Amino acid sequence: MNPDFLVIGAGVAGLRAAIELAEAGGVLVVAKDSLKESSSEYAQGGIAVALSDEDEVGLHERDTLAAGAGLCNRAAVHALVEEGPAAIRQLIDWGAEFDRLGSKLAFTREGAHSRNRVLHAHGDSTGREIARALYHKAASLPSIEFRGYALCTRLLVEHGAVTGAELYDAPSGAAVQVRPRAVLLATGGLGNVFLHTTNPDVATGDGVALAWRAGAEISDIEFVQFHPTALCVAGAPRFLLSEALRGEGAALRNARGERFMEGLHPLKDLAPRDVVARAIVSEMERAGSDHVYLDLAHRGPAFVRERFPRIYETCLKYGIDLGREAAPVAPAAHYAMGGVRTDLHGRASLPRLFAAGEAACTGVHGANRLASNSLLEGLVFGARAGRAMREEAAVAPSGGVLRKKADREVRPTEPGGLSIPEIRRIAWERCGIVRDAESLRAACALLERTSPPGPAGSTSESAQARNMQQVAGLIARCALAREESRGAHFRADFPERRAAFEKHSVVTRDGGIVFQASAEGLAEVGIHRP
């Protein structure tokens, strides 16, 4: 098939965009792993939406802005919460099954929400259920084709516009070029840039690195949310223990069994994630321990097993019975607020390039994402990007070519050469929860080492290592430039929020770092394209 549209990523944002595009032409959806391996699959807590009888869109908007610490794009937030209810109703019409109490949808509360507005599915498998419903819908549309194990290694740029992408087809080992009318980056997050993360292995920041190398603008990449409560057991992955556990009454306790969030924040254990994560780090340092405890034992095994079946079974696998004992937990990298800078219709700063979901930065999350807004963002802005791509296709020339790469072009030297374990340790130790200039400068020096890039047919691992090193370097550079503490970005040497930095960082490959205020008209006119 010669696709009219290329969607890179098969999570919620990519699938929702593909569905929107299907009526306008052929759509190729590619994923670097299996089509079901994405961050969406691992989203436990739920999806926030103002649909309950006690809630209002305006309250959801207010809570999102408060969590964003002064950096939310208000137009983006308004679009998210205003279009959210219809997006959920449509998803239900497509077969998504959310948990209910009788005939009514069941809502719970998570940190920094003022109302019970978080829907969940099968207890703690919300992302998986949403992705299932979207995939089922997309697969029913004959104009959508899927290809797994195809890693995008490069965006093709001609005369300042994106004209296609180069893929590394793992089964054949061949480099393949795709030239559609428009390209969407829906590659998900970057958590695996860090040593400890709740993200799946595929979350290596590929979309950000691809866009940056092509010359697109990257925004707010220094804002990385560290989830406070990941399972911390020797030999176990840093499995996410959802904030919904605390929403259902789980308490954070230190080594002495004390509830240490008392007095630190009015919301106590349900304080914003950056506050809780730093409090946990402080407690761990005080006790000389690598963890604190999350205690839901008072609810009993039956409740925990029914409400959180996936979490319960995973913890049990590693010797922790959540219905009877507290689980050892520690923070881990979880979500990127920044990414490829877009307007509110997914348009990046390069013509014919779009981004949606965690790979994109619309400004909707500001400096700190409100819990459970990410799946909603994927639905709302995935659909918006799909509609905008249809409009772009009406005027863009058709590439329509899927072909093996015929030549090997010479590329400039760029950061690369560190191993994946080295990159992850540098990012965790020097660009983690608490930062300072000395550590960030050291990170920049280490991550900006250069080596000749691999050939076009380089392995998937080497391509991902290059992406991870470049993304970690961008995080370090922008974190060093932001001389304040705001939201998820905390500088020990600049512990206060500063009005001069109530702006978005914007970085490009050739233009350095600048700070720009939000443009409230961004959604209507599109971002500036040089």
Farthest-apart Cα atoms in the chain, separation: 66
In this predicted structure, what is the pLDDT of residue 45? 61
Please state which of the four CATH numbers 3.40.120.10, 3.90.700.10, 3.40.1000.10, 3.90.1150.10 is assigned to the domain occupying 226-334. Answer: 3.90.700.10
- What DSSP assignment string belongs to 482-508? --S-BTTB-BTTB-S--GGG-SEEEEE
Tell me how far the alpha carbon of residue 322 is from its chain's centroid: 28
Alpha-carbon distances, residue 77 vs 66, 193, 497 (angstroms)? 11, 27, 22
Report the amino acid identity of residue 33. D
In this predicted structure, what is the pLDDT of residue 451? 58
CA distance 6 to 164: 8
List the Cα angle 379/195/223 in 5-degree steps: 50
- In a 3-state reduction of DSSP, which class is residue 522? helix
In this predicted structure, what is the pLDDT of residue 450? 64
In this predicted structure, what is the pLDDT of residue 37? 57
**Of 344, 347, 382, 393, nearest to 138 (Cα)?**
382
Cross-strand bridge partners of residue 327: 294
In this predicted structure, what is the pLDDT of residue 414? 62
- Taking the CA atoms of 182, 188, 194 and 200 in sequence, report the sign of the dihedral they define: negative
Strand residues in 186-253 grouped as ranges (E): 218-219, 224-231, 251-253
Q: How many CB atoms lie within 10 A of CB 90?
A: 15
Work out the burial of residue 412: count CB atoms within 10 Å of its CB; fewer than 13 is exposed, 13-18 middle, 19 or more buried. Answer: exposed
**Tokens matching residue 126:** 């919300």
Tokens 């307007």 sit at which residue? 343
In this predicted structure, what is the pLDDT of residue 398? 57
In this predicted structure, what is the pLDDT of residue 525? 31
What are the sequence ranges of the domains in the chain? 226-334
**Tokens matching residue 308:** 């959180």
Spatial neighbors of 303 by CB under 8 A, at least 6 apart, are: 248, 323
Cross-strand bridge partners of residue 158: 161
Report the amino acid identity of residue 244. A
- In this structure, are residues 507 and 470 in contact, taking their beta carbons and an 8 Å threshold? no
**Tokens matching residue 462:** 């080497």
Residues of the chain with pLDDT under 70: 1, 36-45, 396-416, 450-459, 519-530
Cross-strand bridge partners of residue 66: none
Task: Please list the active-site residues.
Answer: 273
**Of 332, 311, 334, nearest to 323 (Cα)?**
311
- What DSSP assignment string belongs to 250-317? -EEE-TTS--TTTTT-TTGGGS-HHHHHHHHHHHHHHHT-S-EEEE-GGGHHHHHHHHSHHHHHHHHH
In this predicted structure, what is the pLDDT of residue 506? 97
In this predicted structure, what is the pLDDT of residue 407? 38
